[in-house]
């Protein structure tokens, strides 16, 4: 099961909008429901530091340690898919999770960086320093502290390459999170170009040993009109993955 990306820094908007921890979209039909993480307890760590502060400090340290990735010179999403957040979210997730492990992992990271853009929305960037925000997109799809990342680690990618692996994707559903809609209606969002989408998809991973299917659910932040002419990716807020069977 995957985990939230930049949870303490980026899910602030969700908690403000709903008064409770974030709830990712439901997996595709036929998958088992995921129990959400409980709200942080109001206590302190053995060092006396509040747990959420410790978590944020750790996340920012990992973000700072994320290598800077140069954007890919080609292969970006173009055309009608960039004109609407639903279409862009579907196209982005399909391209992100369609993975040929015979290719270089860094090429996928460079593609993510090329698709990314920035936002100034406080409920999205949270406490992330300005100098680290250019790393948020890649970090959100590669951080493994809470489980498997959307893009495997370098060693995981190499293992799948050795098994002649490749992953294909079927987009099952795209919607605007209710909590996000409530935040917009409540006047809590200051960046007119920022939006959020929930994407549910089915991923099929084929190797020379087995075929695995899993249901994935992502919450994405996107930036587009009127701030930008086209929709682009900001960050993954939350990610869940559930196995659906092996053959």
Instruction: Look at residue 106 in the predicted model and tell me its pLDDT.
Output: 96
**Domain positions in the chain:** 7-16+81-246
What is the rounded distance in angstroms from the CA atom of residue 105 to the CA atom of residue 66? 15
Q: Locate 196 and state its tokens.
A: 């959020």
What is the rounded distance in angstroms from the CA atom of residue 182 to the CA atom of residue 18? 8
Instruction: Name the residue with tokens 């293992």.
Output: 159
Q: Locate 183 and state its tokens.
A: 């935040």
Residue 116 carries which DSSP code? B
Bridge partner list, 195: 222
Instruction: Look at residue 144 in the predicted model and tell me its pLDDT.
Output: 87
CA torsion sign for 80, 168, 155, 35 is: positive
Instruction: Name the residue with tokens 């939230």.
Output: 4
The pTM for the full model equals: 0.81
CA 175 vs. chain centroid, Å, equals: 15
Whether the CB-CB separation of 139 and 125 falls below 8 Å is answered with no
CA torsion sign for 232, 95, 104, 146 is: positive
For the 7-16+81-246 domain, the top CATH level (class) is: alpha beta
Q: What is the pLDDT along the chain (247 residues), one digit of tens a residue?
A: 454 445 444 444 444 444 444 444 444 443 333 333 333 344 443 434 444 445 778 888 999 999 999 999 989 999 999 999 999 999 999 999 999 999 999 999 999 999 999 999 998 988 889 999 999 999 999 998 878 899 999 999 999 999 999 999 999 999 999 999 999 999 999 999 999 999 999 999 999 999 999 999 999 999 999 999 999 999 999 889 999 987 7
Alpha helices in 19-173 (DSSP H): 51-65, 85-97, 105-115, 122-125, 136-142, 154-162
Whether the CB-CB separation of 214 and 2 falls below 8 Å is answered with no
Strands 211-223 and 166-175: unpaired
Question: How many secondary structure helices (H) and strands (E) does the chain include?
Answer: 9, 5
Angle between helix axes 85-97 and 105-115 (nearest 10 degrees) is 170
CA 125 vs. chain centroid, Å, equals: 14
Whether the CB-CB separation of 2 and 201 falls below 8 Å is answered with no
Q: Locate 176 and state its tokens.
A: 């605007």
* Helix (H) or strand (E) segment spanning residue 14: helix 12-18
Whether the CB-CB separation of 119 and 194 falls below 8 Å is answered with yes
Instruction: Look at residue 32 in the predicted model and tell me its pLDDT.
Output: 32
């Amino acid at each position: 099961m995957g985990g939230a990306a930049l949870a303490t820094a980026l899910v602030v908007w969700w908690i403000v909008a709903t008064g409770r921890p974030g709830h990712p979209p439901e997996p595709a039909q036929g998958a088992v429901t995921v129990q959400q993480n409980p709200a942080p307890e109001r206590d302190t760590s053995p060092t006396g530091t509040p747990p959420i502060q410790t978590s944020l400090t750790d996340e920012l340290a990992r973000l700072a340690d994320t290598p800077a990735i140069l954007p890919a010179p080609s292969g970006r999403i173009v055309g009608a898919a960039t004109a609407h957040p639903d279409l862009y979210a579907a196209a982005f997730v399909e391209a992100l999770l369609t993975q040929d492990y015979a290719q270089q992992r860094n090429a996928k990271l460079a593609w993510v960086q090329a698709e990314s853009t920035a936002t100034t929305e406080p409920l999205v960037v949270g406490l992330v320093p300005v100098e680290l925000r250019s790393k948020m997109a890649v970090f959100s799809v590669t951080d493994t502290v809470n489980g498997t990342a959307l893009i495997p680690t370098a060693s995981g990618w190499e293992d799948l390459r050795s098994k002649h692996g490749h992953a294909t994707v079927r987009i099952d559903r795209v919607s605007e999170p209710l909590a996000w809609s409530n935040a917009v209606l409540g006047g809590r969002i200051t960046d007119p170009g920022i939006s959020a989408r929930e994407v549910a998809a089915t991923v099929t991973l084929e190797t020379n040993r087995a075929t695995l299917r899993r249901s994935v659910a992502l919450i994405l932040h996107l930036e587009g009109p009127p701030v930008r002419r086209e929709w682009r990716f900001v960050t993954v807020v939350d990610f869940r993955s559930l196995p659906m069977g092996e053959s």
